[in-house]
Structure 1
């Protein structure tokens, strides 16, 4: 990047060079160690064109120098404005350079302090080394002792390392054993939790059965109380009937009979009947309860078997649901793949249809171009036939001229020479035309496959006509 001071003339440049040398630093010194570079802006001013042309004129010829000076004299230059701009840029550049020098000075001061500290440390180390050199024999003994201590420490460290390695192996074995035990305990816990869940379900079922049995016992107790009440009512009715059916007897008989004994017997009899009925009811209740318990046990086994079946069905249902989810996932992925394939197929089909349409258009254009070429070829053949006829007529005329001018040998020779040149040129033209005809015929044969049946027949007829005409022309030329 160029400074703005380069855009001024040589006297101003010499002045600025003297000022910069007075400061005692150059542009390379103004670069701070941080990588910061002072940059100056250069604007395209009329003075720039003048000074640039002046600089280039040093290495130019005289004519180019004169033209550049004439061109610069024609432009209007504002030297005051350029000097102000250059002064502004110079002051900015000097500020940047001073800032860079200040930064470098700070860095140098820090570096001097750091080097002083390093020198102090090095001097202390040198002093310590000198003191050690004084007692070299003592240092040897200390070195041997320290070496012995280090060897013993190394052996101890090696022993500790071996011991730590053994402890590590034992700890790893213990960890593996504890891991296996943990896995076994986790498995047992899972089995226990599953058994607890099953037992909880059995407990719930047993509670339901117990509640049903309690209801049945309550109903049986109610039935027993009802039967007992009925029995007491019957006994009271019988006692009332017995008391009502007593016959009036004589006083003698009343004195002789012991009413209390009769009542006692009746009471004993009624108590026997009541005990017998109670025993029958208890026996019936015990039988009924045993039957119900047996039915409950049977139902419990059936419930357990049904519960096992339900768990199996649940497992099967879970496995089937997992399979169903996996199948659904595969179905979704296949549907996505199918949609992608259909999209690609549709895009490929549309692109192929576009290419087919383009090829159809190209085929139509080639057919039209082929028809045009055939028409041009037909026109060329007609022109060729007309030219052959004219050539034959000219030959006849030339033959007549030769016979007429046979008395003049020199003119005859020149005419004969010109006639030979014309024949050579005509043969060259005919060779070129024959090459063109062959190329057109090959093109017609290549494009005849793309045309229709009618066009193929027309092309064959046209080719036959052209071949017939060429044969006729060849026979005419031979004649």
Structure 2
């Protein structure tokens, strides 16, 4: 607050000059009254008028001196008075909780974004694991399909071999039966021929040769039968091993399928939980975003109001710093030609 002070150093001298001029006028008027024989009636009226004007002038001077003293007192008070600034604490009490809420909302949004990134990474890991398990399942299914085709091929080969073995067994049985009949016929012929004649030598030799050939043929058939029987045993052994391998593969397939189903159920449960958590996080993010927008709007409105208050306060400070100063001059001529100038100061205050 600036205060303009007018020059008031000549108050005592002015009052002394006025007193002297008034004393001079009074003495002259008294002298004139004492020598009244020499004065006319017009001069008396003039002297009386001057005395009245002097009395009014002295009263006005006295009132101006009192007002000047009051102004000096107010100036001294204003000089010693301390200027109190605007109290911003009332806005701090309102803004600090909002700023804290905004900071908490920003931190919470950052935490939620971090949780979303972690959930996305976990979902990506589960997706990769699911794809790897799916590829493993497809490879196992392809292996099982190939083994089933191999099983079908072996089963068809087994059926062919069983038919061939049955035919060979029938042929062996027929050969055995034929060989036994031939042996029985030969034995009957040997026991029936008691009388041996000389001319029958070639026929006996022929029969011996036939018997030898039959024995050789029987031995060949027996060897072939033994070889076929050995082949059958080898094929049965291979078939049994293939059946065992197929059974083991089927058991492995069942175990893999059960384990895959369990893993798939776990993955689906985890994915459902993650999707639910992601939905909750999205709803929380939407709510936090809405709350953050509301808080931001409140902050902007408060900043606008604070700016308006600052503009008003800066305008009030400028008006208080430039008070109006009015100067009035009063001039009067006495008998001695004395001129008096009185300065007054007017202060205006504006409060909001």
Q: TM-score, normalised by structure 2?
A: 0.39
Determine which structure has greater relative contact order: mean sequence separation of CA pairs < 8 Å that are 6+ residues apart, divided by chain length.
2
Q: Higher helix proportion, which one?
A: 1
Q: TM-score, normalised by structure 1?
A: 0.30
